[in-house]
Structure 1
């Protein structure tokens, strides 16, 4: 309900005093809404892409740190420093857990990125369909206007023709009547 009202208000603002429920206006508003959704989706894709790069870097650093901790633990064992080796192995385990967390986050992020790209493709398709629909509506409106204009002009022409015919058809009839009256009067005069 709120979304519908928002769209109607936006349509009213964009189109001024035209009728709010006009299909052409609503299609234009839907086009604007879909364009906004496309822009939001593109921003989310950009964020997911940046997150992927960040996670890949973190994962790489974590793997390097795990290898480094392993080497450090080996050096501590060789130096017979078991306490230091334990601390290093604890640190290695923590880094290992972080590395696993990064891998899970990367899988989730890649899935979301894939979904956002699919959503973007669907939005772009919808956008192009709405643009085509808008073009179709504009052409229909123009055709209807042209037809109405032609009908109006045709009626004007027909009315003009009828008016002309009435003027010209009645004139000869009136003139004929005068001639007939004159002839009748002549005949009467001749008879007298």
Structure 2
């Protein structure tokens, strides 16, 4: 009954750590082993309950047989008192048969009790081992998940696409910097152009004033000549 459980426990105890390095999905395999172990525990519980039921039934039969033996003894005495020797003899014969049957029932009951004790002890051990394996399963599942994440990250870092994306990013960054530089240069040129225009306008403005000034001078000179 417990052979499969022993085999499963052996695999879980000695080979479960190696599953991480194999091609199988370790988490899937661990869960399958735990399901197998749990199935064995359920079957063991059913077998134990069945033997316990038989033990109780045998116990009742032992008690009933003992009472019936006492009854036959009493009936044999009463038959003799009533001068029914033949009936007393039949009661004693049945008593003897019941005594032999009682011996067999007691042997069966004793054997059943031993089986119940053994099954309960094995069931206790199985459940303890299952809890131990369950803790190992949780630990190994966490390790397996961590290993997968680490592998995924390492693959991403070593992937050529990632390197290409990085180069593309750097290229776009350089392009943005170039565009910013061009914008700054354009702005500087615009400021320079504005300054030139302003200077030219100022120069043109100064020329008009000079011309006006010359005209005023000439006008004054003419007025002086007339007055003289």
TM-score (norm 1): 0.67
Deviations 1:98-143 (A, max 9, x none): 1111111111001111111112112212222222222122111111
* 1:27–1:152 CA distance, 2 compared to 1 (3 A): closer
- Judge which range, 22-31 or 109-118, deviates more: 22-31
5+ long unaligned stretches in structure 1: 8-18, 169-192
Alignment correspondent of 1:57: 60
Deviations 1:144-165 (A, max 9, x none): 1232244345554898379839
**Contact 2:26/2:144 (<8 A) preserved:** no
Q: Distance between the aligned counterparts of 1:20 and 1:163, measured in 2?
A: 37
TM-score (norm 2): 0.58
Runs of 4+ off more than 6 Å? none
Equivalent runs, 1:163-178 vs 2, <5 Å: 164=170
Aligned mate of 2:97, from 85, 94, 97 = 94
- Judge which range, 149-158 or 139-148, deviates more: 149-158
Asked if 1:136 corresponds to 2:139, the answer is: yes
Equivalent runs, 1:58-73 vs 2, <5 Å: 58-73=61-76
Considering only CA atoms, is the larger Rg found in Structure 1 or Structure 2?
2
Between 1 and 2, higher relative CO (CA 8 Å, sep ≥ 6) is seen in: 1
5+ long unaligned stretches in structure 2: 9-21, 175-228
